[in-house]
Every structure is written in C-alpha cells, then in structure tokens.
Structure 1
Amino acid sequence: MRSIDSVPTLRNGTPGEASLNADRLRDVAGLVDEGIRGGVFPGAVSLIARGGIMGWLRAQGYAQVVPSRRPMDPETIFDLASLTKVVATLPVVISLWEKDALGLDSPVRSVLPEFSGGDRDLVTFRHLLAHTSGLPPWRALYLHARTREGVLKAICETPLAAPPGRTVEYSDLGILLVGFSIERMTGRMIDRLVKEIVVEPLRLTHTMFNPPRDLWTRCAATEPGHGYEHEKVGNDGRAFRWREDVLCGEVHDGNAHYALGGVAPHAGLFSTAREVAAVAFQWLRPGVLVSPRAVEEAITDQRNGAGGYPRGLGWVLHHEGTFFDALGPRAFGHTGFTGTSVAVDPDEDLIVVLLTNRVHLGGSNIKIQEFRPRFHEAVWRALL
C-alpha cells in the first residue's frame, strides 16, 4: 500500500482535458433540468471524472424548496443513504480483510455468537456483503430497540427469508450485522473507523456522520417529516413519535436515526459529490484505500450459483437493467434511497456521481428509477 502522501487525487480540468464532449454535456445538463421540471427531484449535483480529471461538476435546481427555496451548490452536502455501504463501510471491511483480521468466508457467528442457530450458522461475511445471506431487506428495528445492543438482538431474532447462498436479496440487516461485527472486533464505533481509514487518509473535509448544526444550511433537505416510513410501518407505528419537520442535516433512514443515533454501517454518511468521487477514484487507482487484490475481489461476481442479479462485495455489478447499464461491462456502482448514486467504469477510467434530493418531494416519489439510466446514457454519449 502506498503512503498517505501519495494518495491518488482527482484534479480539476476542462471537459476536453477529461475527454468529454462539451456539446454533449449540455445534453446532460438539459436532462437534469428536465428532471427538475418533471418532479424527479428539486435539485442535483452531477460530476463526471475521466482519466483522473474532473471535467464536469454542475449544481442545478434547489437544495431545499420547503418551507423556502435554497439553491443547490456544487459543494452541497448530501445524506448519502445506502452509498454509506460502499463509501464508508466497505473500505473498513477491506482494511480488516487485508490485515487478516476478518475472513470473508468466516461464519458471522465467529464474531457475533448470538447470531446462530439453524441456517444462521452458515451465514458468512461474504454472504452479508454480497447480499446472499437470506436476511430480509428491511425491518423497522426502531420499533423494537433504541440501542445498538437491542438492534443486534432484534436482527438475530429475525427469521431468514431464504437459505444462505440461495439468492440475491438486498438487505440493510445484513450490512448492519457487518457493522456490528466490525465494532465487536475492534472495540470502536464505525464512525471512528471511517474517519481513520477513509476520511483522514483522503483528506476529506465534508464527509461525516451527524453533521454539526452549523453545516445544516449547507445540506440538501430530504423528506418533510417521516411520512414514507410511517406509512410503510402502518398500524405498528401508530404510537411512535415520528419526526415531523423537514429533515435537513439529520439522517433520513429511520433505523439509523431512531435506533442508532445517526451512526450506522448501512446509512448515515453525509458527503459532497466531489468527495464521493474522491473515494470512488481509489477504486481506479488502488494502493491507499484499497489494494489491487481487494479491487479484484470486490468487483468479482460473488453469487456462486445464487439466483438474482450480479453482486460484488458491496457493489452492484454491470447487468442489463441496472441504472448504469449504458456504461461498460466491467462497470460497478451503487444507489442511495435519498436519490444518490455513484458508478465507476474501469475500462473508461470513468466516475459518474449523481446526488439528488428526490425524497424532498416525498419518499414514495420513485421517478428517479427511470431517470438514472437516461442520465448515464447521456453521460456515455458525452465521452470522446
């Protein structure tokens, strides 16, 4: 691994220097404007880097529209939601794996003995990271627990939805187990580990859990209240004390906020487009954050016969129908519920970041699912 002094860094440049067609980039901007007009999101920050040069960074629309309008800025800080899994938690896991402190094929019960019994005994860390553990996607854990120990107990009591290794089933619960395992092994909270392993080596200044209040006015707003999860929980949440104000600077995810104090391995990280790209760039220039061996392992299909779409360790791999389908066959990426995404194409030396505040229009607003593929198609057409 290279020293921190030699950390690979994206540099600012023109579209031409980044091998991007300036005329076609106007189509990218126009598509984002169309998304704003069409109610896909109030605003967005998009970034395109190629060959180590950031040739496009554009803020459009509004960071907040309720109760008043606040323009989007290129340095707006976003609630990354599930991008936390690959920007923060995955590098910590890889760091432990590189030091032989964590075995990907070790059973989870070797670290968390309370996660045992029946098929749970067969679940490995590789299963958790590839989302083939059999754990269900989500559960309102905050209705049952308000401490880390209580959340872990609730997950351990959650029945598996499928045998381990049978199928890909994206699961927040699985990544929560990864985080609790890391904390048990190291005796340190995940936010401290992320600061040490990711933030400080890359010299990031606006990547953090629980942004201080003096930064909230620089954050993109998310949902007005917590109506989406309230509706999802239904009658079970009738007596629960839900947030009612516009969420801005506080993590949107209910389990991260209500049960885990804003610090969680599956959601809770805040960052900017520039700093998300800085982390993504390490996957194209391995040596500081991740090694070449780790990159190869993480972007290799981990299904091993399991049904479902191809998954690496943490990352979604290229396949027909994914949001970055327009990119090359070795591309990988991830999305976040709040309207965030990052995609990396090793063959084109390309990073594409799209951060939006789509849940500011309501958590049930899913227009971005159709928008993201169109956006990445427009980016692909802008490559020289």
Structure 2
Amino acid sequence: MHWVGTWAASAQKVEAKLMPPSLPELGNVTIRQIVRVSIGGKQMRVRFSNAFAKAGNDLRITAATVAVSNGSHKIKANTLKPLAFQGRSSVAIPAGKLMISDPLDFDLAPGADLTVTIHVEKHVNEVTGHRSARCKSFFQTGDAVAAPSLKSSVNTNTWFYLSGVDVSANENAAAIVCLGDSITDGRGSTEDENRRWPDFLARRLLANPETAHIGVLNQGIGGNTVCRGGKGEPALKRFERDVLLQTGVRWVIVLEGINDLGGGKTDADEIIAAYRRFIALAHKRGMRVFGGTILPCGGSFYAKKPQLEARRQRINDWIRTSGEFDAVIDFDATVRDPKNPDRMLKAADCGDHLHPGDKGYRMMADSIDLSLFK
C-alpha cells in the first residue's frame, strides 16, 4: 500500500473580496468544504496549506472533521470522524508551509463527495485557498465542525486552506496531474456539477476496470500563465509544488499557454522552452508528460491580439511533431470548427469563444486515450 492523491486544488492567494460578505475576516469561524474525490480507499489524510500568509501568521485550526456529504452544508452524521495532527486535534501551520493530517481509517468510496470541516481560530493575513471552486463552501461563526448541518451558514464559491486529499491504495495505483489555466479549472462549466474536463476524465477512468485505480488531480488556476503575469503563480514557479510534490503521481497533462499568448508579451519559443523544462523535471521523477494542444479562441476578447493565432499554431505544431512529450492529447483538433479552425465548434463553446461548456469539456475528456495510463 502507498499514498496516492485523489483530489487536489492549486494553492493561490485569495483576495478579500472573495470572503463571505458577512465574514470579511475568517476568525472564530467554521468552514465546511465539499470536494469530489476520484479513487477511493479505506484510509485517508487531508492536506492544508498556509503558503501565502505573511511571515508570523500561523494558520490555527482548532478542530477538523471529515464526513460523507449529504448535500449542501449537510453531512451523513454516521460517517463523521475527527482529523488529528501528530496525535492532536489542533494544529498551527506556519506561514509558507503545508500540513498533512494523520492517517485516518475512513471508508471513502470512489467518486464520493467528501466534506472537510475546520474551525479557524483567527484571521490570517494573505489567505491561501483556491479562487474558483465551482462549488459552494459554507461558513458559520463559532465551532461547529461536528454539526450535522450548518443552518446559519453563508457560502461562497471559493476553497480556503484545503489543498488535497490522499488515500492509501494498492501499489499499482497512481495519479494524474492536470496542469492548466481556467480551461482546466472549469470556467464555463455548470457550477456545483463537477463538469470540468478532469472531472469527466476521472469518471471515465473509474468506469474502466483497467484504470479504476488512477486518481485525477486538477491543478488548474483561472487566469494562470506559463511564464509571467496572470492569476496565481505562473506554472514555471508552481510546477514543483503543484506537480512534483503531489502524492503518487505517474502522469502529467500540460494544457496551458493561451493566457500568455493573450497577454501578448510571451512568444511561442518561450512557452516551448517552459514545456521542455516541465518535461525534464517530471522525467527526473519518473513521470510521463503528455502535451495538450492549445484550444482555438477566435471570436473571443483575445482574438484581436496580433500574432496570437500564428503563435498558437507554432506551439501546437511543436507539441504534435517534436516528439518531446511522451504523448500528445490533441484537444485543439477535438473542439475546433473544421470550417473555421481558429474557432471552437459551437456545440463545444460555452459562449465566450474561449472556454468550452459542459459538452466541450466532455468532448475533451472523451478524446483522451485511456491506454496512455496503463
């Protein structure tokens, strides 16, 4: 048996405007968050991050529990279990650090909705979380980590402090990291329905007996870039934390670069050089790296950027023909309009001509050859 990631979210700084309006500072508050795991297990542990806090700002979690979700802010009370940290019910996580809970016996079913509930003692300057959860997190004043429901709660669509869930799995089990931007983060998909392309991929893997032991870790950040600027730390900077230090990873899918091109300050050769860096770093860890071609964005607000389409085609041609990735996943070919190849198919488009909708994300996931993960 060994540890394998079953769920993850990329850590980033969460702005004050994303805090619940009635709780502008997260002090003496219970936070209940719901995540949909990929693979299951009989033992689990949870990761919490205080990566972006200012020096001296410990994240003090006084109590934490896990349970199977019963919808919204409710839990299945008979599944509730407390988390511990080196045998203690509370923990102080220093600024810039990650904390992993003690192993916990817990019957976690594949594809289950898991709630993680914590009580935070006081507000931390520069809160760490994930801006675009695509589902609700619930907040209630005081310590209610064991409550079967948070009847007085408010909610927001952001995850706070929670960065991963691992399960103890058989030796053949492993995880895939999906590294990307808002297209991997699921912008344009239906909220609260887990319809990002990594979600559809996870369901396909679970439904196939030959791949049902493979976890999927979504490390997409909306507005993220490969090289510079954008939301969150650029992929070049976050690659170690979000890929190399994830648990039980054997494969990486890289789908990122459209925001660099849309910003107009990064050329194709810089992005290709970054891809080569990703490949080299991952290969040193024994991981296989698959290159996802960049989707078309004709008709979007990015389309007016000079040279964007030529640079996108140059990058995609390199991904397809260089042989440097271990395999190619041709997302561009899957969703582009054959009559207007600089645009997405209408059926795949969420409407902004940059992000797919639910059908487009399903098309992307369905295009992936599962034999890549044998």
Using the size of structure 2 for normalisation, the TM-score is 0.26
Select the structure with the greater relative contact order (CA < 8 A; seq sep ≥ 6): 1
Using the size of structure 1 for normalisation, the TM-score is 0.26
Greater per-residue helix proportion? 1
